[in-house]
Copies of this chain bind each other. A is one copy, B any other.
Amino acid sequence: ANCICCGSPYNLGTTPTPFSRENFVPLNQHSNDELLALRQQVQSRYNSLKSEGLQLDLTRGKPSSAQLDLSNGLDGILQANYMAGAVDTRNYGSPLGIAEARALGAELLGVPADQVLAGGNASLTLMFFAVMLQNNIGCRGSDSAWNRRAAAKVICPVPGYDRHFTICETLGVDMVTVPMTDSGPDMDAVESLVKTDPDVVGLWCVPKYSNPTGCTYSDETVDRIAALGKTADPSFRVFWDNAYAEHHIATPGETLASIYDACLRHGTEDSVWQFASTSKMTFAGAGISWAASSPGNLATFKKFVNAAIIGFDHVNQLRHVKMFPNLETLREHMEKHRQLIAPKFEAVLRQLDEDLDADYGEWTRPAGGYFISFDAQPGLAQRIVDLASEVGVKLTPAGATFPYGKDPQNQNIRLAPSLPPLEEVQKAAQVFTLCVQLATLEQKLAS
């Protein structure tokens, strides 16, 4: 691979997969005039995109139609038999869900079934209620409610999942950030916060194929998180959103240590709430969800949730356990998802590898989940999103991966390649790298 400007061989450095790089624009070892010429080239290619009238969307971690088709058998799967054992799923029932659905969630999360609640189509709602219980109601009587404090704070590893932040913001819970590393949250920073600030009462986690960086927490990280409850305030809770437990891209996928086992070792079962759902297994908007914690927590949660719902949709729970009678069948189903989604991630990563290097930014190579996290040069995220938008490629808003939508470095962009067809993903990735090149050249020339 040679410089398109001066023809000299270009050092690809640590980029793992060198491809053709026909559109690679080297940044280093060039005079200002040469950079101006490079920008001219890039700008010219960018301008030509405007006439293409693109309408591409990499904003949302949505399954594609082909993925959704995998579960089309759900409607009608009951064949007019709505009984779950002796339970008529059509009628009102327990807020803990039907036994079969709780058992499936227990297998997925690696916990006893009697510590699992099976919920409706949104684990987000269960998280909202769990945070609300902690903040507004109190996990052990009203004195334990976070909102009795002047400034209860929840730790948010960043970049992270915007909807976790929105729950805190909506309920008036403050957030404090720690950096996300390749092995999970910066645990030195987490432990220091928990140790020094008694108002730190929570921690958000997407422990496997994290949103958006894709990392899976290391065994050591899981253990240290489970240990937090030993010294933290009794109302401290980890919100363990295991949204991508079986959502592999690589084969084999990564494995996550059991937070439940770690809590048992440390005697901190009360300190962790686990969540999962089938949103990206069956239907994104019509799946089922789970929450799991200690028996005491679950009893308190059940009473609270029962004020807001008589029972979740047990018919849909029954549909799901008919489709997935056990974890093994669920895993076979997820392999079909993997085959549909992996080529899209490969396409984006190939494009990034071909067109960019560390002078432009850094990006993750997830073995699972729904996102690639891209860190541009500081200050450029918004510009890149705007440039892409102008030529018809929607990206997740800059800042979305940070609390209050404010990325202090203005550099993180979350790429979500799952929804569009492969050819659109390829095109959108080409546009993206071009926008990164243009924004970076602009910045370099302005400095």
Contacts and interface: CB of A to CB of B under 8 A. Distances in A.
Interface of A: 60, 62-63, 65, 68, 71-80, 82, 88-93, 120-122, 124-125, 128-129, 136-137, 163, 166-167, 169-171, 279, 283-286, 304, 306-316, 319
B62 A91 contact: yes
Contacts of A316: 286, 313, 316
Nearest to A312: B121
Contacts of A89: 283, 285-286
A314 B120 CA distance: 12
Contacts of A79: 75-76
A286 B307 contact: no
Nearest to A170: B307
B90 A284 contact: yes
11 contacts: A71-B90, A75-B79, A75-B80, A89-B283, A89-B286, A90-B285, A136-B136, A137-B170, A286-B313, A286-B315, A316-B316
A128 B91 contact: no
Contact of A91 (B166, B283, B304): B283
A75 B286 contact: no
A310 B124 contact: yes
A387 to B, nearest CB: 26
A319 B76 CA distance: 11
B304 A170 contact: yes
Contacts of A309: 121-122, 124-125, 128
A137 to B, nearest CB: 7
Contacts of A124: 308-310
Number of copies: 2
A72 B314 CA distance: 14
Contacts of A169: 307
Contacts of A307: 128, 163, 166-167, 169-170
A310 B124 CA distance: 8
Contacts of A308: 122, 124-125, 128-129, 167, 170
Contacts of A76: 75-76, 78-80
Contacts of A315: 74-75, 283, 285-286
A77 B75 CA distance: 8
B75 A122 contact: no
A78 B319 CA distance: 14
A121 B120 contact: yes
A344 B171 CA distance: 46
B72 A286 contact: no
B166 A92 contact: no
A61 to B, nearest CB: 9
B310 A286 contact: no
A283 to B, nearest CB: 4
A80 B72 CA distance: 6
Given A75-B79, A286-B314, 10 more contacts: A68-B82, A68-B88, A74-B315, A75-B77, A82-B283, A91-B285, A120-B313, A136-B171, A170-B304, A286-B313
A154 to B, nearest CB: 15
Interface centre among A76, A77, A129 (most CB of B within 10 A): A76
B93 A285 contact: yes
A109 to B, nearest CB: 21
Contacts of A71: 90
B122 A283 contact: no
Contacts of A80: 72-73, 75-76
Contacts of A62: 91-92
A47 B119 CA distance: 44
Contacts of A306: 166
Given A75-B78, A75-B80, A76-B79, A285 B314 contact: yes
Contacts of A286: 89-90, 313-316
A170 B93 CA distance: 20
A285 B92 contact: yes
Given A122-B310, A128-B308, A316-B313, A283 B167 contact: no
A76 B72 CA distance: 10
A78 B314 CA distance: 19
